[in-house]
């Protein structure tokens, strides 16, 4: 999170990927660090027994959020 905030303040859009269990902690840390609008992409928890294709499909659905975060600034 620190690196992401540092990059954003340098004018370089950045995205943080977090496991869904850490979503609240990441958003809280972003707010405390003065960047409540940080681009945080939440990666859903895997389910034991998921096939590689299922995992790939899950990650593929995140690309629009990742690309949006990399092409827009979190700095208001």
pLDDT computed for residue 26 by the predictor: 96
Percent of the chain clearing pLDDT 90 (strictly above): 68
pLDDT computed for residue 60 by the predictor: 93
Residues 52, 28 contacting (CB under 8 angstroms):
no
Neighbours of 39 (CB within 10 A): 22
Instruction: Note the pTM of the prediction, 2 decimals.
Output: 0.84
pLDDT, tens digit (0-9, with 9 covering 90-100), for 36-53: 999 999 988 877 888 989
Residues 74, 12 contacting (CB under 8 angstroms):
no
Task: Provide the residue ranges of all domains of the chain, joining segments of one domain with +.
Answer: 2-71
pLDDT computed for residue 44 by the predictor: 86
């Amino acid at each position: 999170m620190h690196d992401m905030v540092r990059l954003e303040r340098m004018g370089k859009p950045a995205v943080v990927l977090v496991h869904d269990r850490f979503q609240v902690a990441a958003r809280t840390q972003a707010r405390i660090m003065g960047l409540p609008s940080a681009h945080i992409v939440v990666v859903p928890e895997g389910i034991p027994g998921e096939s590689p294709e299922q995992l790939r499909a899950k990650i593929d659905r995140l690309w629009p959020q990742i690309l949006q975060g990399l092409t827009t600034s979190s700095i208001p």
